[in-house]
């Protein structure tokens, strides 16, 4: 029998965005269905990024996140940003973009977007991290096309499944262990929980 929660999630059929960000000279972006306005006064907006995703790793060190609201004509963009990972391809080599606040990449083909200045990050121990931000810039296009929704992307296999993230044990063994340990320490420090791992810096 189908899980009732999953049935309800399928029924509400969330609209899709591409969340982009930048830090330490790296650009990142992925499709997200987990996002919502979460305060009225002051306005706040939240997006949840999978710990498996390159975008989440870059976002932890970033100051800004841009949310590009997709419409039904944006399937190719959704396939690029949702079906491929920056661990394997340079997504920004195949789209026109310009740098926004904090260097966040703004995708030219998406006229409906909001740029957030990050105010907090929340990790409840699940497989996604919540970033909350203050909208500091927004642009709305004609809004005459319907939003692209999760069911419109049924044919897109996510570049990373939520459960595919490496464990600390995976990362601290093997040939690139030294670099991985340093990366883990940087991630922990950026999250506000510094750690000192054997073989780290
Ligand atoms: C319909 C759909 C919804 C998705 N929702 C989310 C989401 O809310 N948060 C997230 O981090 N990834 C989500 N993903 C997965 C990422 O977009 C995907 O794994 C992407 O390839 C990650 O790229 P990256 O490793 O370059 O960050 C979704 C993918 C699809 C197709």
Q: Is the CB of 18 under 6 A from ligand 1?
A: no
d(CA 59, CA 66): 11
Answer yes or no: is the C-beta of 108 below 6 A from any ligand 1 atom: no
76 and 36 in contact (C-beta within 8 Å)? no
Give 194 Cα–ligand 1 centroid separation in angstroms.
Answer: 27
The pLDDT of 117-133, averaged and rounded, is: 97
Whether the full predicted model's pTM is greater than 0.75, yes or no, is yes
The four Cα atoms 22, 157, 147, 110 give a dihedral, to 10 degrees, of: 30
Which carries the bigger pLDDT value, residue 123 or residue 185? 123
Q: What is the pLDDT of residue 196?
A: 74
10 Å Cβ neighbour count for 182? 14
Ligand 1 center to residue 199 CA distance, Å? Answer: 32
- Provide the pLDDT confidence category of residue 186 given band limits of 50, 70 and 90: confident
Of 179 and 20, the one with more pLDDT: 20
- Which atom from ligand 1 is nearest to the alpha carbon of 83? 21
Confidence check: pLDDT of 156 > 60: yes
What does the pLDDT average to over 145-165? 90
Q: How far is the CA of 128 from the centre of ligand 1 (A)?
A: 11
pLDDT category at 22 given cuts 50, 70, 90 is very high
Mean pLDDT of all residues in 26-50: 98
Per residue in 45-80, is it b (16+ CB within 10 Å) or e — as a string? Answer: bbbbbbbbbbbbbbbbbbebbbbbbbbeebbebbbb
Residue 125 has pLDDT above 60, yes or no: yes
Q: CB burial class (10 A; 0-12, 13-18, 19+) of residue 17?
A: buried
d(CA 17, ligand 1 centre) in Å: 10
Name the residue with tokens 């420090």: 189
Q: Does the CB atom of residue 51 touch ligand 1 within 6 A?
A: no
Cβ–Cβ < 8 Å for 56, 21: no
Mean pLDDT value across residues 156-160? 94
- pLDDT over 80 at 176, yes or no: no
Q: What is the 37 CA–ligand 1 centroid distance (Å)?
A: 19
Instruction: Please give the domain boundaries of the chain with CATH numbers for all domains.
Output: 4-160 (2.30.110.10), 166-201 (no CATH)
Q: What is the mean pLDDT of residues 62-79?
A: 98
Distance CA(122)–CA(106), nearest Å, equals 24
- Please say if the pLDDT value at position 1 is more than 70: no
Q: Is the CB of 133 under 6 A from ligand 1?
A: no
* Ligand 1 pocket: which of 69, 85, 158, 164 to mutate (most atoms within 8 A of CB): 158
Mean of all residue pLDDT scores within the chain: 90
Q: What is the mean pLDDT of residues 32-60?
A: 97
Higher local confidence (pLDDT), 134 or 162: 134
When pLDDT is averaged across residues 64-85 and rounded to a whole number, the result is: 98
Mean pLDDT confidence for 28-48: 98
């Amino acid at each position: 029998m189908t899980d009732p929660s999953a049935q309800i999630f399928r029924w509400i059929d969330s609209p899709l965005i591409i969340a982009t960000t930048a830090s330490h000279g790296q650009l990142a972006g992925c499709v997200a269905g987990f996002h919502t306005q979460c305060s009225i006064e002051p306005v706040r907006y939240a997006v949840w990024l999978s710990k498996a995703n390159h975008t989440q790793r870059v976002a932890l060190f970033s100051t800004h996140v841009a949310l590009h609201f997709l419409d039904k004509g944006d399937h190719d963009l959704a396939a690029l940003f949702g079906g491929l990972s920056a661990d394997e391809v340079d997504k920004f080599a195949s789209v026109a973009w310009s740098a926004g606040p904090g260097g966040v990449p703004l995708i030219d083909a998406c006229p409906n977007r909001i740029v957030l200045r990050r105010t907090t990050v929340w990790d409840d121990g699940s497989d996604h991290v919540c970033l909350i931000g203050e909208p500091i810039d927004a642009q709305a296009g004609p809004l005459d096309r319907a939003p692209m929704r999760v069911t419109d992307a049924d044919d897109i296999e996510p570049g990373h499944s939520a459960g595919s993230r490496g464990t600390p044990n995976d990362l601290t063994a093997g040939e690139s262990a030294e670099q991985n340990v340093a990366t883990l320490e940087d991630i922990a420090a950026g999250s506000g929980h510094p750690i000192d791992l054997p073989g780290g810096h």
